[in-house]
């Protein structure tokens, strides 16, 4: 196949895969394992073409044994390999929570920094296609909550590639959460936005560097993942009404780019946090609290837009009710003004 050009646009899945393939070519210690990642190429296209290039040894289909293979990734990482392990749906974390929460996240600290866990855990997240309570969660807050995991959430192809390069090279465990709706899969059409030009060359995007996806003066919308695109759409609508919204894409939750958020709120005075995770004890509360800690006086008004504290329901009108829509974001912004 011919080399791609800089004018080329990639889907988020292809950008992710291009970074993984690059790292696998450069470093024989990098390998990928998960369910249906070899012949299938990942249910959400996360590994398309990798088995063809690298073979079954480095792109491993594993038994449906999340505890074993996520734990095995931790173990292989601790002896110096650089595994990438995939949870087909982030919702399946429960099956292997000990390996994630008590091993992957804590071994570095418990060893006084003498052991490192240079692995990436990839996981498909998110709803909007009626897959109900056990297959639609994002769980951003659950993973950002435990100390010891770096948590990355790309929203565009460009970000997906740079964040993946950084994730694989990082000597710490990184959870890389990709939203199914953004991957550019034929059977789950993506919104406008995630498909972007992507440089052919390798590059790393540092964690903890939020990206101002749209600059504005009246209100700061902080969000991540799919909702970056819903927030941008909302900002368009708001612009028609004469309101200028700044949209900040966090890109990583751990580390959190507090400076970019605070700087924006000090400019706009209004903060709207939009999250596809549950409302309580999660991302929205954390962002608001962080801004309050840093710059309480700058906060004139605050709104949180998140999934109310209910499991994600199946039926279309019910799911639409709980997952924040563009309209919900517009209304929240209007309430701040």
Partner 1 sequence: MSEHTDRVAVTVSEWPGDVESEEGVVVNWFVGEGSDVEESESLCEIQIEKVSLDVYAPASGVLSEIVREEDAEFERGDTLAWITPTEAEPEQ
Partner 2 sequence: MPLVSEQTMEEMFENMVTARHYEERLQEEYLEGKQPAFDISAGPIPGELHLAAGHEAAAAGVVQHLRDDDVVTATHRPHHVAIAKGVDLERMTAEIFGRETGLGKGKGGHMHLFDPDVNFACSGIIAEGCPPAVGAGLAAKKRNTDSVAVSFLGEGAIDQGAFLESLNFAAVFDLPVVFVIEDNDWAISMPKERVTDVENGSKRADGFEMPGVRVDCDDAIEIAEVAGEAIGRARDRNGPTLMEVQVHRRMGHFMGDPETYRPEADQEAAADRDSIERLEADLRDAGVTDDRIEEIRTAAHDRVEEAIEWAKEQPQPEADAAHEDVFVNPMNGVTDSEPDFEAIGGDD
Q: Which residues are annotated as catalytic? A: 135
Taken as a whole, the chain contains a residue count of 337
Q: Out of partner 1, partner 2, none, which partner does residue 1 contact, by CB within 5 to 8 A per kind?
A: partner 1
Q: How far is the CB of 312 from partner 1 (least distance, A)?
A: 24
Compose the 48-67 pattern: x for residues touching partner 2 by CB under 8 A, - for all others: -------------xxxxxxx
Q: Out of partner 1, partner 2, none, which partner does residue 91 contact, by CB within 5 to 8 A per kind?
A: partner 2
DSSP designation for 101: I
Query: Does residue number 188 form part of the binding site for partner 2 (CB under 8 A)?
Result: yes
Query: Does residue number 187 form part of the binding site for partner 2 (CB under 8 A)?
Result: yes
What does each C-alpha distance from 161 to 155, 205, 225 come to in angstroms?
Answer: 11, 8, 14
Q: Give, as ranges, the residues between 167 and 186 that touch partner 2 (CB under 8 A).
A: 186
Stretch that binds partner 2, among 35-43, 117-125, 206-214, 329-337 (CB under 8 A): 35-43
Residue 199 phi, psi dihedral angles, 5° rounding: -60, 145
Binding site for partner 1 (CB under 8 A): 1-5, 7-11, 184-187, 189, 195
Decide if 19 contacts 161 (C-beta within 8 A): yes
Strand 150-152 and strand 252-254: the pairing is: antiparallel
State the angle between helix axes of 258-268 and 283-295 in degrees (0 to 180), rounded to the nearest 10: 70
In 3-96, where do the E strands start and end? 9-10, 30-34, 59-61, 82-87
Query: Does residue number 189 form part of the binding site for partner 2 (CB under 8 A)?
Result: yes
Query: Does residue number 132 form part of the binding site for partner 2 (CB under 8 A)?
Result: yes
Looking from the CA of 106 toward its CB, the CA atoms found within 13 Å total 10
CA 114 remoteness from chain centre: 28
Query: Does residue number 199 form part of the binding site for partner 2 (CB under 8 A)?
Result: no
For 216, the token pair is 């504005």
Query: Does residue number 11 form part of the binding site for partner 2 (CB under 8 A)?
Result: no
Q: How far is the CB of 284 from partner 2 (least distance, A)?
A: 17
Q: Which residues bind partner 2 (CB under 8 A)?
A: 35-36, 38-40, 43, 61-68, 91-92, 94-95, 128-135, 186-189, 308-311, 313-322
């Amino acid at each position: 196949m011919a080399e791609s050009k800089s004018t080329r646009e990639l889907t988020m899945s292809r950008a992710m895969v291009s970074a993984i393939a690059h790292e696998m070519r450069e470093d024989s210690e990098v390998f990928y394992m998960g369910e249906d990642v070899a012949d299938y190429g990942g249910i959400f296209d996360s590994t398309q073409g990798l088995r063809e290039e690298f073979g079954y040894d480095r792109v491993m289909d594993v038994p449906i044994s999340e505890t074993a293979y996520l734990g095995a990734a931790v173990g292989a990482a601790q002896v110096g390999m650089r595994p990438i392990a995939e949870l087909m749906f982030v919702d399946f974390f429960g099956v292997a929570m000990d390996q994630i929460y008590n091993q992957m996240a804590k071994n570095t600290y418990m060893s006084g920094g003498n052991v490192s866990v240079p692995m990436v855990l990839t996981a498909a997240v998110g709803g909007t296609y009626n897959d109900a309570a056990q297959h639609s969660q994002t769980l951003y807050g659950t993973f950002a909550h435990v100390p010891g995991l770096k948590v990355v959430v790309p929203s565009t192809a460009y970000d997906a590639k740079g964040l993946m390069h950084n994730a694989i090279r990082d000597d710490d465990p990184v959870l890389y959460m990709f939203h199914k709706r953004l991957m550019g899969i034929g059977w789950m059409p993506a919104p406008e936005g995630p498909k972007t030009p992507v440089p052919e060359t390798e590059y790393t995007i540092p964690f903890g560097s939020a990206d101002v996806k749209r600059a504005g003066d009246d209100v700061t919308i902080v969000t991540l993942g799919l909702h970056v695109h819903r927030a941008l759409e909302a900002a368009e609508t708001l612009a028609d009404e004469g309101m200028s919204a700044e949209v900040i894409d966090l890109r990583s939750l751990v580390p959190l780019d507090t400076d970019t958020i605070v700087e924006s709120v000090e400019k706009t005075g209004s903060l709207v946090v939009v999250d596809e995770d549950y409302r309580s004890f999660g991302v929205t509360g954390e962002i608001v609290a962080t801004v309050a800690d840093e710059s309480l006086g700058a906060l004139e008004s605050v709104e949180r837009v998140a999934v109310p504290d209910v499991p994600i329901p199946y039926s279309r009108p019910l799911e639409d009710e709980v997952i924040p829509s563009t309209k919900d974001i517009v209304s929240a912004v209007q309430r701040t003004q």
